[in-house]
């Protein structure tokens, strides 16, 4: 029984390190020539348009519409990965854009609030690939914006 527990702990550590290694970071985006989007580019892409937002940690996909007044209409397309429910990292972080009650685009940032906290996201783009980095996530890339909806 003791050896089974030790093997289970080792397996969990291996999986945890493998997941950590595959996370995108701001540094990895910059190495791949992703460029920070401007306020004008963000506004043109998001305001009064429908885009998909993928939470890279939970793998959930949402269809979102952001009105010019900053209100957000959302619909879940793909459910969260059930494995994420036991993730301490996921449970401890504020939700990505999808739980925001208000959004503002200012100074090349998306400023959002969930009613309690306010945080800023910066978008990086290369071709059709757009990733978001929030100020509170220690330069971890946590979401992707998908413009072309299948």
Q: Which residue has the tokens 């459910």?
A: 79
Q: Which residues contact 65 (CB under 8 A, 6 or more apart)?
A: 48, 49, 50, 72, 73, 74
* Mean pLDDT, the chain cut into blocks of 10 residues (150 residues total): 63 46 72 92 91 88 88 87 72 65 86 82 92 83 81
In angstroms, the CA 30 to CA 67 distance is 30
Q: Which residues contact 77 (CB under 8 A, 6 or more apart)?
A: 52, 61, 62, 63
pTM for this entry: 0.75
Q: Are 119 and 140 in contact (CB under 8 A)?
A: no
């Amino acid at each position: 029984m003791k050896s089974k527990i030790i093997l289970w702990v080792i397996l969990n550590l291996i999986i945890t390190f493998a997941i950590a290694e595959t996370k995108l970071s701001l540094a990895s985006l910059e190495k791949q020539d992703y460029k920070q989007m401007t306020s004008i580019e963000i506004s043109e892409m998001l305001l009064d348009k429908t885009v998909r937002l993928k939470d890279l940690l939970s793998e959930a996909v949402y269809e979102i519409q952001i009105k010019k007044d900053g209100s957000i209409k959302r619909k879940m397309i793909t459910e969260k990965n059930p494995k994420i429910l036991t993730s301490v990292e996921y449970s401890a972080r504020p939700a990505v854009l999808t739980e925001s009650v208000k959004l503002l685009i200012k100074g090349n940032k998306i400023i959002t609030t969930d009613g309690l906290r306010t945080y800023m996201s910066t978008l990086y783009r290369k071709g059709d690939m757009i990733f978001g980095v929030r100020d509170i996530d220690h330069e971890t890339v946590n979401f992707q914006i998908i413009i072309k909806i299948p």
